Amino acid sequence: MRSYTKVDKLKLAQTNKYNVFNCIVQKGPINRAAIAKWTDLSLPTVMTITGELLEKNAIRSIGKGEINRSLQNKNGMITGSNTGKPPEMLQVNPDFCYTIGVDLGRTTVRIVINDAAFQQKICYKEAMGDPFPEDDFISRIIKLIQKLMKSQRIRKNQILGAGIAMPGLIENGSGRVIVSPDFGWNNVSLQDQLRKALLFPVMVKNSNHALALNESAFEGDNYRVSFCVNLGYGIGAALIVGSDLYTGAWGADGELGHSVMVKNGPLCKCGNSGCLESVASGEAIARQAAAIVAHHGGSKILELCDGDISKIDASMVFRAAEGGDEGSRKIISAAAEYIGIGVSTAVNIMDPDRVILSGGLMKNDPRFFENIRSHMEEHIMYHSGRKLEVAIGKGGEYSTAHGACRALLNTFWTEQKLPI
């Protein structure tokens, strides 16, 4: 005898509500008839759901729209037109809730607050200095977040949550920092400490994962596999398959910077020697330049750092190279070659159709990108790279912070935890 599965009506109703709300977020301003077409729901169902969303202040009416507007379904097909009275137009209420994104860089923290329409309300950055002791560093982050909330007059009950992007190996779910070579942290309960102090949901994610989520969003679903490389103080990467983040078996994927490039090379913060990060990251570029200045002097870099070697950073080395400094030019050239080889190896293994080069190093001389791509082309197998697109990230300085917001929202959408 055939058995039947009982439909969970409450779950179905909640899913329909999420689909309607998501349609308004993505397509708004939009009328109810168009929502019904996009979501494949009946007009009475859409009217009931939008009524509930209006009561909860999740959406708002912005007046009447135009008449004789053709309606399209989700496949882009014209399915009719509204030829009667002008329809009421709905859009998400930006003040319904806010998300906070925090990019914990080794030298600088960057914070964004986005509204319910994922529009940036404020961005802020601050140099952080030494991340020790951990408790003091975390306390500073908490105070910064609270200060920004106060400056924007945002209450705790308006905050959906905070996404925190942290370099290192992050334990899935708990948000515990298992190890962060950049910070020198081991077994730090970052997510729990922030959540208890801020009194709203907090989710800690790997920085490379957050950056990749944001960068891959700019081109929609036009790519099957995107490999995003984060070139900054350190070097990391993440893989996006379709629109989903690949996190490996234990969440330890993407450590491109800790693949060995030079046998018996410089000691890396991870404990290995000759890692890509130890020879081509922003930290490595600055360290190599400081060594040249310390041993030889007379460098263009010495002028840029006002004679204080401790102030040397990668951007100074790039500026010195552009100014004709030969030592700086060699450092930058070698870094581009190492990165090109490292990324080409990843391409040969994973066969993505897009590589996105992002991070602080990509804000310097455009020739750096061209040199990396040139070295990639030397080492990529023909069949792996014949249709490969290589591009510079579009997200800008706060891309990782925005990606932390996206990671948080993705979880809330999946688990249906939005307050609607």
pLDDT tens profile 178-218: 999 889 999 999 999 999 999 999 999 999 999 999 999 88
pLDDT score of 236: 95
Confidence check: pLDDT of 221 > 80:
no
Average pLDDT along the chain: 91
d(CA 113, CA 395): 15
Closest C-alpha to 269, from 229, 314, 236: 236
Beta sheet of 169-170, edge-to-edge order: 169-170, 177-180, 185-188
pTM given for the model? 0.88
Cα 301 from Cα 316, distance rounded (Å): 6
| Bridge partners, residue 204, by sequence | 164
Task: Work out the pLDDT band at 231, boundaries 50, 70, 90.
Answer: very high
Q: Which domains does the chain have, with CATH numbers?
A: 9-92 (1.10.10.10), 97-212+399-414 (3.30.420.40), 218-392 (3.30.420.40)
User: What pLDDT shows up at residue 68?
Assistant: 47
Indicate the range of 75-79, 82-86, 275-279, 395-399 predicted with least confidence. Answer: 75-79
Distance of CA 224 to the CA centre of its chain: 18
Q: Other CB atoms closer than 10 Å to residue 270's CB: what's the count?
A: 17
Residue 68 Cα distances to 9, 24, 27, 31, angstroms: 36, 20, 18, 13
